[in-house]
Amino acid sequence: MSSYVTIEKGLGPEGRIAVVRFDRGDGINAMSPEAMRQLTDAARGFEDDGDTSVVVLTGAAKAFSAGFDLKDSEGRARKDMDLGSLRRHLKVGPRMTRAWQDMEQITIGAIEGFCVGGGVALAVALDFRVMACDAHLRVPEIALGMNMSWQSVPRMLHLMGPARTKQAVILADDRITAAEAHDWGLVEEVAEPGRAFEAAMALAAKVAAQPPISVAMTKLTVNRLAHALDDLASHMDLDQFALASLSEDHREGLAAFLERRKPRFRGR
DSSP letter string over 139-206?
--TGGGT----TTHHHHHHHHH-HHHHHHHHHSTT--EEHHHHHHHTS-SEEE-TT-HHHHHHHHHHH
Q: Sheet with 17-22: list strands edge to edge.
A: 5-11, 17-22, 54-58, 106-111, 128-132, 189-191
Residue 60 in 3-state DSSP?
A: coil
Q: Please list the helix, strand and coil fractions of the chain in percent, rounded to the nearest 5, in that order.
A: 50, 15, 35
Cα angle for residues 113, 150, 17 (degrees, 5° grid): 55
Mean pLDDT along residues 84-105: 87
pLDDT band at residue 72, thresholds of 50, 70 and 90? Answer: low
pLDDT of residue 9: 97
Bigger pLDDT: 183 vs 71: 183
pLDDT of residue 78: 65
User: Is the model's pLDDT at 79 over the cut of 70?
Assistant: no
Residue 110 in 3-state DSSP?
A: strand
The whole-angstrom separation of Cα 108 and Cα 123 is: 9
Of 80-94, 117-131, 230-244, which one has max mean pLDDT?
117-131
Picking from 132, 140, 139, the residue whose alpha carbon sits closest to that of residue 61 is: 132
User: Is the model's pLDDT at 33 over the cut of 70?
Assistant: yes
Contact 60/113 with Cβ under 8 angstroms? yes
Which region among 103-107, 239-243, 264-268 has the lowest average model confidence (pLDDT)?
239-243
pLDDT of residue 196: 98
Mean pLDDT along residues 192-220: 96
Mean pLDDT along residues 250-260: 77
Helices first, then strands: H and E counts in the chain? 13, 9
Bin 126: left if φ > 0, else alpha if -120 < ψ < 50, else beta.
beta
User: Is the model's pLDDT at 37 over the cut of 70?
Assistant: yes
Residue 43 in 3-state DSSP?
A: helix
Picking from 89, 73, 69, the residue whose alpha carbon sits closest to that of residue 81 is: 89
* Cα dist from 162 to 165, 173, 174, 231, whole Å: 5, 19, 17, 17
Mean pLDDT along residues 25-43: 93
User: Is the model's pLDDT at 91 over the cut of 90?
Assistant: no
User: Is the model's pLDDT at 59 over the cut of 70?
Assistant: yes
At the topology level, CATH places domain 5-194+211-259 in 2-enoyl-CoA Hydratase; Chain A, domain 1 (3.90.226)
Around 157, how many Cα atoms within 13 Å sit in the side-chain half-sphere?
14
- Domain coordinates in residue numbering, the chain: 5-194+211-259
Using one digit for the tens of pLDDT, what is the confidence trace for 118-132? 999 999 999 999 999
